[in-house]
Structure 1
Amino acid sequence: MKKWTGGSVILALALLLFLRYALLPSSSSAATAAAAASPRRQPRRSRPPPHPSLSPKPHLLLSLPGLDVLFPSPNSTRSPQLDPSSKLAWAHMRPLLLRSDALPATADGVREAAAAWTELLAALDAEIGGKAAPFGGSNAELEKKSCPFAVNGSGSSLDIPCGFVQDSAVTVVGIPTGRNGSSRFGIELVGSRLPDGEAEPPMVLRCNVSLGGDGPLVAQNSWTVEGGWGEWEQCPAIGSAAANSSLKVDELVRCNEQLGESGVLENLNGSRPDGEKPAEKLKHSSHLSVGSPFVEGHPFTATLWAGLEGFHLTVNGRHETSFAYRERLEPWSVSEVRISGDLQLLSSLANGLPVSVDLDLIGDVKVLQAPPVPKRRIFMLVGVSSAANNFERRMALRRSWMQYEAVRSGNVAVRFLTGLHKNKQVNLELWREAQTYGDIQLMPFVDYYSLITLKTIALCILGTKILPAKYIMKTDDDAFVRINEILSSLNKSVSNGLLYGLISFESSPHRDKDSKWFISQEEWPHDKYPPWAHGPGYIISRDIAKFIARGHQERNLQVSYSN
């Protein structure tokens, strides 16, 4: 879970709390913890956090590639097939996306969303017009393209219909076929290719295995068209980065080694991801771990699985390596698994994949649909950040804490904030889900983790302008929210200047450029963050949400500190 939910939101809260405590007399507060499924909460402190000096007001860009597709003019002859109720926040996002200080990934997120949106509308037009099955295929092809739990095969490639989610895995059974330590093979997780003609899809993960010398060597990396190869991570590692081998991803070591040195391979940029494999060039002096996991002529079972923070390699039941997710190369974007090299492939299986829900198997859909929202101001709006292909998580929430009486009565409204996916099948399934349950708010950008701040701003707009609420809560689709306990606490609390959640007071930004959580000096120039609330569950009062929404619409608050 990302620990920094956006400089804009924190700056807004910092300024508001500073003014509150500087200008108003102190008063007692009945601040208690938000009772979501998360650890002990702490009350906010009164000391004002540091904030950067004021900068010139950002301007609006004249245009952004793809924006006119996502926000067509009122005179456009083509009307979207989606129910407008799924795009209530969407309509307010255009000025935010055009800001000169927009988040770095905004341009790509919008451009890719425009291509995905165009493809979705074409599929819906074909489906509604009865011209063909969605995406131009037959009904049999459509069934094949749906989101299954598992796919298998014996060839060198596996299509992943709807991406990976947490705990998705690909298992390969094979036999290294080289002689005298010459075997070299690899497993690749390939990203989604957009329909607008990308030359090469990104490489979410390349895992190269090289046998020979004193034992096997595993080298892992990722590749994009814009940035080429990142830093190669080797196990066992060599060179100057000995300390890095003990770093953990999901509480698992990056390299399971008993002997040897640690290091990071040099950064090799290339125009294509099929260039020279660095694992072929490396020398090493230790085994991967006690007992070689790869031996020529002997079968092995290797599993690459997706955790919360990165990918993990398990061989013959033992953890060997971990690879932290890199920015904009997230598991949901995986569309294909490729296996190549000196390997007799016996079988390959991808399982734990996201599964779309078959409506025919649901008993009473009405009890899972969002209830009507009363015309009066509701007590609380809960915005749930959710990736497009997390179908099962959203359904689990509808069947569990979204059945609280306060939710079913409409006094508390729950909405999933979901960006578009680069995979056309996922977007079609998402559209059907939005139409069926009425609790999804689509975002006009591809759902990159680095754009999560835009969801938070959209939630503030939603809770103040569209579904007015006294309190606004942000949470994630892997949290269980105890609505009754939260309402009990809020009923005893002040209604203005309120921030509830797990508050961190001493934390620093991630400066590793390859990290999914990378924060640049421009985004946050200080060594420490001001007090901030963790993303799994925090609540703000309406006045704070209104301050954030208005500040961004008037461009008085920065989306981030980057230009």
Structure 2
Amino acid sequence: MEGLENRSGIGVGVCFPEKCLLEMFLELLCSLLWCRSPLLNPFQLREAKREKERRRLHQPEIGYSQAPKPEMKRGRIGKLDTLLSFTRQRSTQIFIVLGLFYILFVFLEIPFVFRTAQEQPSRLPPLVRPPNGVVSGLTLNDAAFDSSLYQSACRVGRAIWAELKSGKAQGPVSKPDNQSRPCPGSISVSGPVFFSRGRSMVIPCGLTLGSHLTVVGEPLKPQRRKCQFMMELQGLTTVEGEEPPRVLHFNPRLKGDWSGKPVIELNTCYRMHWGTAMRCDGWKSRAGEDTVDGLVKCEKWIRGDDDDDGDTDRHAVESNAEWWLKRLIGRTKRVPIDWPFPFSVNKLFVLTLSAGLEGYHVHVDGRHVTSFPYRTGFALEDATGLILSGDISVRSVFAASLPSVHPNISSQQQLEFSTRWRAPSLPHFGVELFVGILSAGNHFAERMAVRKSWMQHSLIKSSKVVARFFVALNPRKEINVELKKEAEYFGDIVIVPYMDNYDLVVLKTVAICEYGVRTVSAEYIMKGDDDTFIKVDDVITRVRNVPYSMSFYIGNINYRHRPMRHGKWAVTYEEWPEEEYPPYANGPGYILSSDIASYILSEFEKHKLRLFKMEDVSMGMWVEQFNRTKPVYYFHSLRFCQFGCVEGYITAHYQSPRQMICLWEKWQMQTIPECCNMR
């Protein structure tokens, strides 16, 4: 034991504590394994053997035949005791060795683990925080694209952002916009002036409750088989390349369509997607149907259904038996008053469109014809233009009771600058889920509704899930100024510095992948829209059910869809030469594993990523390319709603700001998600 102590004493002064402890442990371990006693070292073991040999030589040999039997028995018992004693010593030695291993692990191994973890690189990609915290870290330069459209949009976007950072953009918008462009209380335009302006009239500040538009005109003899005209309330174009939204589409068809009877069709077009049409074909709305401000949706007019086949009107002449029965019980006979279809060829009409509390109301020649409830995604101030087209001659247009204050394309009336709605700080470690939300520069109300609804979920407030808006720059300078203020205050906006264009939305999707992989190092990445309500806890449950090592693509997946080669949504063969699209999830909401997002970012930086104008199809194409190197599991679910909302949803699309708040309130009160169908 002196040698052990001496070596330990020498080692303490010349080595690290971990090394000295290791040396002591190895020497003690050797003594335990080489000796029969835990207190004997190898030198003492040799001396004990020699002493035993000397004692054996000095004793006389006793033959087995001469040994007494009791002594023989006693010798066997002694050998057994020696064996048991040796076994107990070995057990003691084993327990001592295990205890020393435990001490070695606790006091020696852990410092080594921490030390090596600092020296070796982590398997996860390092967190990269953008230096300014507002602009995306995605590299957008001319070398990244071979299309002049992409290059031009990025070049203009960089110049606008540089101007915003320098503060030069603050000057032109220091005065309120309603001072340079006043809001008139009424507007009057004659027929010739209306046609010279392309059959349109600008309503600078939109409509408000009680506003009304009056059109004096007459339907013309049709140049083709169908006779119809259209009156539309249109909004501002959101981004370049996107058609303006139709706040109201009013379409009287004098010769009818497939029915051959006169009909009036009303509809809306929200973000280039038409809603479900409401048709008035001469039948009065049923008593049990919903009304709009107390008025029925469709009034009755004379259909002229009597024909050679004997078809009659719904209110046919009652029989004599019915007449006598009603007379017997004292019921008086009502004389129905039927009106003709309100529009006729070459007949002057006066149409008045008024904005009520629950919807629009249409009166023709002083008689109520139809009422149309407000649709999701629009506000009265969005109706900034009146368009009349088709077989119609307009004599004059008059608008009155218009708002006197500009609806404020800046954000002051729509954003609530409260610390309650600010995003929490990014964590110093990776997150489980990152949600990237596509938005447009002037969607202040939509972003505010998302902040007040599902972004208040505890998983997001605790930074276990991170959500960010991805917005490109707007052609209007004042919107960009307000957008920069909003981003700096709320801390939840990532600006992708290019000029927003409907065909370039795919760049925001790539920016979502870059942010999710590098900035927050998320395990799963989800893409949504600012009119999509997301049940965060259901998304987490869904992704946790997938094995960790599996690459996956979750959403409402379309299979074997073909591109449209003709019409409004035509895709040329130069844009997409294949006859079918790859399987792709609808854009309002889908989820990716992080390895797919890393692949997309890597291919983009290598300038190998194919960009298509439809971002959801592009994602399907990228996932298909990744699938060639590693299997990808596609999970399809109708609970990722493409149009509107269904009971039990995971995502609900086309939700107005008011519906967002309603869905959040219902979600907090109930476990099963329910929809809000108010207008």
SS of 1:92's equivalent in the other structure is coil
For residue 301 of structure 1, the aligned residue among 332, 348, 352 is: 352
The answer to whether the Cα contact below 8 Å between 2:562 and 2:580 also exists between their aligned partners in 1 is yes
For residue 488 of structure 1, the aligned residue among 541, 553, 564 is: 541
Is it true that 1:544 corresponds to 2:596 in the alignment?
yes
- Opposite residue 379 of structure 1, the aligned amino acid is E
* Shift in alpha-carbon separation, 1:514–1:360, aligned structure 2, 3 A: closer
Q: Partners in 2 of 1:560 and 1:202 — Cα distance?
A: 16
1:93 alignment counterpart = 140
Offset of residue 338 of structure 1:
7.8
Q: Partners in 2 of 1:403 and 1:466 — Cα distance?
A: 21
* Shift in alpha-carbon separation, 1:470–1:171, aligned structure 2, 3 A: same
For residue 106 of structure 1, the aligned residue among 150, 165, 179 is: 150
SS of 1:135's equivalent in the other structure is coil
For residue 518 of structure 2, the aligned residue among 465, 483, 489 is: 465
Higher deviation after alignment, 439-448 or 468-477? 439-448
Q: Flag the structure with higher helix content.
A: 2
The answer to whether the Cα contact below 8 Å between 1:475 and 1:537 also exists between their aligned partners in 2 is yes
CA RMSD of aligned residues (A): 5.4
* Shift in alpha-carbon separation, 1:113–1:295, aligned structure 2, 3 A: farther
The answer to whether the Cα contact below 8 Å between 1:177 and 1:343 also exists between their aligned partners in 2 is yes
Tell me the matched-pair count. 380
Is it true that 1:497 corresponds to 2:548 in the alignment?
no
The answer to whether the Cα contact below 8 Å between 1:152 and 1:158 also exists between their aligned partners in 2 is no
Which aligned pairs between 1:210-229 and structure 2 lie closer than 5 A? none
2:580 alignment counterpart = 528
Q: Partners in 1 of 2:243 and 2:542 — Cα distance?
A: 47
2:186 alignment counterpart = 153
1:378 alignment counterpart = 431
Offset of residue 527 of structure 1:
2.9
Q: Partners in 2 of 1:246 and 1:508 — Cα distance?
A: 29
1:125 alignment counterpart = 168
Query: Which whole-Å deviations, capped at 9, do the CAs of 1:350-394 have from their partners, x for residues lacking one?
Result: 89968655389847x222111111121111110001121111111
The answer to whether the Cα contact below 8 Å between 2:432 and 2:522 also exists between their aligned partners in 1 is yes
Offset of residue 445 of structure 1:
2.4
The answer to whether the Cα contact below 8 Å between 1:420 and 1:427 also exists between their aligned partners in 2 is yes
Offset of residue 333 of structure 1:
11
Q: Partners in 1 of 2:544 and 2:142 — Cα distance?
A: 36
The answer to whether the Cα contact below 8 Å between 1:505 and 1:531 also exists between their aligned partners in 2 is yes
Query: Which whole-Å deviations, capped at 9, do the CAs of 1:285-344 have from their partners, x for residues lacking one?
Result: xxxx9431998664312489xxxxxxx998546489xxxxxxxxxx99997668995204
Query: Which whole-Å deviations, capped at 9, do the CAs of 1:208-247 have from their partners, x for residues lacking one?
Result: x9xxxxxx998xxxxxxxxxxxxxxx98799xxxxxx999
SS of 1:86's equivalent in the other structure is coil
Offset of residue 456 of structure 1:
1.0
The answer to whether the Cα contact below 8 Å between 1:189 and 1:205 also exists between their aligned partners in 2 is yes
1:73 alignment counterpart = none
Q: Flag the structure with higher strand content.
A: 1
SS of 1:543's equivalent in the other structure is helix
Q: Partners in 1 of 2:613 and 2:349 — Cα distance?
A: 54
For residue 214 of structure 2, the aligned residue among 174, 191, 215 is: 174
Q: Which runs of 5+ in 1 are unaligned?
A: 1-81, 128-133, 210-215, 219-233, 239-244, 259-288, 305-311, 321-330
The answer to whether the Cα contact below 8 Å between 2:217 and 2:395 also exists between their aligned partners in 1 is yes
Identity %: 24
SS of 1:536's equivalent in the other structure is strand
SS of 2:398's equivalent in the other structure is strand
Q: Partners in 1 of 2:581 and 2:546 — Cα distance?
A: 26
* Shift in alpha-carbon separation, 1:137–1:338, aligned structure 2, 3 A: farther
* Shift in alpha-carbon separation, 1:318–1:294, aligned structure 2, 3 A: farther
Compare relative contact order (CA 8 Å, sep 6+) and give the higher one, 1 or 2. Answer: 1
Offset of residue 488 of structure 1:
2.4
1:135 alignment counterpart = 172
* Shift in alpha-carbon separation, 1:217–1:521, aligned structure 2, 3 A: same
SS of 1:514's equivalent in the other structure is coil
- Opposite residue 99 of structure 1, the aligned amino acid is F
- Opposite residue 587 of structure 2, the aligned amino acid is G
- Opposite residue 455 of structure 1, the aligned amino acid is K
Which aligned pairs between 1:372-451 and structure 2 lie closer than 5 A? 372-451=425-504
Q: Which runs of 5+ in 2 are unaligned?
A: 1-129, 190-200, 223-228, 258-263, 283-339, 364-368, 373-379, 615-679
Q: Partners in 2 of 1:406 and 1:190 — Cα distance?
A: 36
* Shift in alpha-carbon separation, 1:108–1:171, aligned structure 2, 3 A: farther
- Opposite residue 419 of structure 1, the aligned amino acid is A
Q: Partners in 2 of 1:507 and 1:170 — Cα distance?
A: 45
* Shift in alpha-carbon separation, 1:459–1:237, aligned structure 2, 3 A: farther
Q: Partners in 2 of 1:337 and 1:175 — Cα distance?
A: 10
SS of 1:367's equivalent in the other structure is helix
Q: Partners in 1 of 2:576 and 2:486 — Cα distance?
A: 38
2:531 alignment counterpart = 478
Q: Partners in 1 of 2:208 and 2:564 — Cα distance?
A: 26
Q: Partners in 2 of 1:236 and 1:115 — Cα distance?
A: 54
TM-score (norm 2): 0.46
* Shift in alpha-carbon separation, 1:151–1:464, aligned structure 2, 3 A: farther
Q: Partners in 2 of 1:446 and 1:176 — Cα distance?
A: 41
Offset of residue 468 of structure 1:
1.7
Q: Partners in 1 of 2:242 and 2:132 — Cα distance?
A: 33
Q: Partners in 1 of 2:416 and 2:460 — Cα distance?
A: 20
* Shift in alpha-carbon separation, 1:336–1:345, aligned structure 2, 3 A: closer
Offset of residue 546 of structure 1:
0.4
- Opposite residue 508 of structure 1, the aligned amino acid is R
Offset of residue 105 of structure 1:
4.6
Query: Which whole-Å deviations, capped at 9, do the CAs of 1:447-484 have from their partners, x for residues lacking one?
Result: 32222211111111111122221111001111111112
* Shift in alpha-carbon separation, 1:300–1:423, aligned structure 2, 3 A: same
SS of 2:523's equivalent in the other structure is strand
- Opposite residue 139 of structure 2, the aligned amino acid is H
- Opposite residue 596 of structure 2, the aligned amino acid is I
Is it true that 1:508 corresponds to 2:562 in the alignment?
yes
The answer to whether the Cα contact below 8 Å between 1:189 and 1:203 also exists between their aligned partners in 2 is no
SS of 2:602's equivalent in the other structure is helix
* Shift in alpha-carbon separation, 1:354–1:83, aligned structure 2, 3 A: farther
SS of 1:342's equivalent in the other structure is strand
- Opposite residue 535 of structure 1, the aligned amino acid is G
Offset of residue 402 of structure 1:
0.8
* Shift in alpha-carbon separation, 1:203–1:486, aligned structure 2, 3 A: closer
- Opposite residue 135 of structure 1, the aligned amino acid is P
SS of 1:88's equivalent in the other structure is coil
